[in-house]
Structure 1
Amino acid sequence: MYENLKAIGITDVDQIEKYTVRTEGRADVLKVYYRRDKGDLFARSEKFKYPRQQKRVKVDSGSGSYSDMSEIAPTLRYVIEELDQIARHEEQETDVKKKILSDLRHLEKVVNSKIAEIEADLERL
């Protein structure tokens, strides 16, 4: 499934906690953080450097002047898309858990209210 992550050596995508991307000079630095317990031998994070793609862009067609620009490397863009899929999947799981817990608390209130109502009816008899 996550071919671009596998290409950079990330095989256990279930352990990914979060990631950051920042620019340092002429390179973008991707840092991937993993869930680790105390005493684990593996590192908590990994860094990957991607050189920025350099482009020469025409600024003004009338004067014919050009400007140098840099942008994120396509391979890094694909890796970030896969990391976003993983992050969204985890958010959806926690949202579902919160919804189920909320529904359970609501059901608990409804049942307690109904029990109190039935007990009051019994007292009147």
Structure 2
Amino acid sequence: MVITYYAYPKCTTCRNGKKWLDENGADYREINIAEAPPSKEELRKIYKASGIELKKFFNTSGIKYRELGLKEKLPEMGEDEQLELLAGDGMLIKRPLAWDGEKTTLGFKEDVYENTWK
């Protein structure tokens, strides 16, 4: 199955993940997360299938996250509102986000990629 790889070209972590995918012959298509973030419904599908907490989809070290004061606001927000935020600005999404219709990874850790995408 083809991996959809949402990444930001200037992100070192994203480049490391892409390098791993290339070196391991993974079949993927890369999408610039800043220019074309996943839609709210696509995010909902990814989130539901992943088993990962929704708050983990947020890039907590990002400037936008801090500017919006999301650390304090997220616990009060509903799922729809959080998904709307993520879909509205790809820079709020933890990256890289890799998804093949069944499995999902957030960020890049070599051991996680080994276990998930090899």
TM-score above 0.5: no
Q: TM-score range by the shorter chain?
A: under 0.3
Q: State TM-score, norm by structure 2.
A: 0.20
RCO comparison, higher one (Cα < 8 Å, 6+): 2
TM-score normalised over the length of structure 1: 0.20
Structure (1 or 2) with the larger CA radius of gyration: 1
